[in-house]
Amino acid sequence: MAITDIQAFSHLTAADIETLGQELDSIRRSVEQSRGERDAKYIRRTIAAQRGLEVAGRAVLFGSRNRWAWLTGTALLSVAKIIENMELGHNVGHGQWDWMNDPEIHSSSWEWDMTGPSSQWRRAHNYSHHTYTNVLGKDEDLGFGILRMTRDEPWRPVHLVQPLANVVLAATFEWGIALHDWSIEKELLGTPPGLMSEPNREFGRKIARQVAKDFLFYPALTGPAFKQTLKANLTANFVRNLWAYAVIFCGHFPDGAEKFTVEQLEGETSGEWYLRQMLGSANFKAGPAMAFMSGNLCYQIEHHLFPDLPSNRYSEIAVRVRELCDKYDLPYTTGSLGKQYLLAFRTIHKLALPDRLLKATADNAPETSSERKFAGITLPSLPSSDTVHWLGIDPETGQRRGLRSAMREAKVVLKEKARQEKEMLREAKRALREKAEHEKDVLREATHALQDRARHEQASLRRKAARRQALWRGRQHRSN
C-alpha cells in the first residue's frame, strides 16, 4: 500500500514538518515580494516570441510544397506550439502571472491552442491534480485512467495492452488530456446526462474550432499546398504531443515519485501538503533552453510546491528547495531526461503484468513505497534499534537522519536481507544434497548387503540342492 502516513514515511516529527512548511512559506513570500518588471518582461517577451514563431511558421508553410520550406515551417510551428502549450497555456492557466493584474495574461481568461477548453483543463489540473497530487483515487492524473502506474491499483487483463496504450497516449496526448479533463469536469459539476449540457457544448465548440483551424482553414489558406500544410500542422501537433507527454511523465512517474492513499489526506496540515508535493514529484536536469521548452516543468518539484509562482523563478527556488532537502535529509528526485523517462517507461511495462509475476510489493517497489518499507528494519548503527522510526539528529555525526538516510539504509538492509536469505537457501540446498547423498550411500550399502545375502542364500540353496540331489541319486542307486 502506498503512503498512508507521511510523517512516519518522511522520518520527521510533526514539529519538523511544521518548520519545513514555514521555511517553504518564506520562500514563497520572498518570491512574491520580489516579483516585478523583470518577470513581467519575461512573460511578455515569451508571448511575443511565441506569436512571432507561429506567424513565421505559418508564413513559411505557404511554400510548403518545397521540402525545405515544409521542414522549416513545421519546425517553427512545432516550437511555437510547444512554447504555447508549456510556458504559456500551462503556466498562465496556473495563475502564475495573475499578480500582474493584466486582463490579457490572466488565468481566468487565457485560452490555449489545445483540443480541450482551458477552463476544463484548469479545473481538472489545477484543482484535482494539484490539490490531491498522487493520491490514489483522488488524483486522476495517476495513469490518466488508462495506465496502471502503481501496484496499489489491482491488475486487470486490460493492462496487458499498456505498452500499446502508452504509445497511443503519447501520440495523441492533447486528445487524451481533453477527454480526461472533460470527464472530470462533468464529474465535478455533476452534469446531468444529455448531449447539450454546458460542458459538452463547450467541449464540442473548442474541438470544432481547433480541428477546423489546423486541418481546414490554414491548409485552405495556402491553396495548392493544402495537403502539405495539413501534414505540417498534423506533424507540429504530434511533436508537441510527444514533448508534452514526455515532460509530464518525467515529472510524476520516475522511481522516487511517491504515491499516497486517502488516509494521508485526513487532517493533512499545510506542512504535510508541501511534503506530499515534494515527495510526489520528480525533476529532470535541463539547461536553460530545455527548461524553457518544458515550461520550466523540469522543476516539477518546485512547480508542485508553488504552482502559482512565476515559472522563470523556479530555477532559483530550486536551489533553496534543495538546501531544505539537505537540511531535513529528504530525497530530491532528479536525473537526466532520458533516465527519468526510462524509469517511467519501465514502470509502464512492468505493471502491465499481473502481480504474481512481479517481485516487489506496493510497499517497497521502485516506483512507489510506503512507511511499511521501514518496518522491522533495524540497524546496528542506530542507538535504539527497537524504535522503527528513529527521529532527530544523529548524536555522533550531528546529521539529521531523515527519509533520505532511511531510504539508503533500507536499501542496504534490504539488500543484506536478500543476501542472507540467498545464503540460507544455498545452505539448505547443500544440506539437502548431502542428505540425499548420504541416503543414496545407505541405500547402496543396503542394496549391496541384500545382494550379498541373496548371493549367499543362492549358494546355500545351490549347495542344498546338490546335496539333495546326491542323496536322491544315492537312494535310487540303492533301490536299483
Which residue number, 82 or 407, has a Cβ lying nearer to another protein? 82
Calpha distance 58→73 (Å, rounded): 7
Interacting residue ranges for another protein, rule: CB under 8 A: 29, 32, 35-41, 47-48, 51, 55, 93-95, 98-104, 106-108, 111-113, 118, 122-123, 126-127, 130-131, 206, 209-210, 212-213, 217-218, 221, 270, 273, 307-308
Closest CA to 205 of 100, 120, 317: 120
Provide φ and ψ at 3, rounded to 5°: -65, 125
To the nearest whole angstrom, how small is the minimum distance from the Cβ of residue 42 to another protein? 9
Compute how many other C-beta atoms are within 10 angstroms of the C-beta atom of residue 67.
9
Nearest distance, CB of residue 24 and another protein, angstroms? 12
User: Of the candidates 113, 108, 107, which has an alpha carbon nearest to the alpha carbon of residue 93?
Assistant: 107
Q: In terms of CB distance, is 201 or 417 closer to another protein?
A: 201
Q: How far is the CB of 359 from another protein (least distance, A)?
A: 38
- Closest approach of Cβ 187 to another protein, in Å? 14
What is the C-alpha to C-alpha distance for residues 394 and 396, in angstroms, rounded to an integer? Answer: 5
Asked whether the beta carbons of 157 and 171 are under 8 A apart, the reply is no
Output the nine-digit C-alpha cell for 147.
Answer: 495506465
Shortest distance in whole angstroms from residue 166 CB to another protein: 28
Nearer to another protein, 205 or 426 (CB): 205
C-alpha cell at 34: 520580489
> In terms of CB distance, is 109 or 387 closer to another protein?
109
Which is nearer to another protein, 199 or 307 (by Cβ)?
307
H-only helix segments in 372-402: none
Shortest CB 29 distance to another protein, Å: 6
Q: How many C-beta neighbours within 10 Å does residue 119 have? A: 18
The nearer residue to another protein, 27 or 343, going by C-beta atoms, is 27
List the beta bridge partners of residue 242.
none
The cell for 356 is 504474481
Q: Which is nearer to another protein, 262 or 459 (CB)?
A: 262
Give me the phi and psi of 339, to 5 degrees please. -65, -45
Cell for 434?
548431502
Bridge partners for 49 per DSSP: none
CB of 270 to another protein, least distance (A): 7
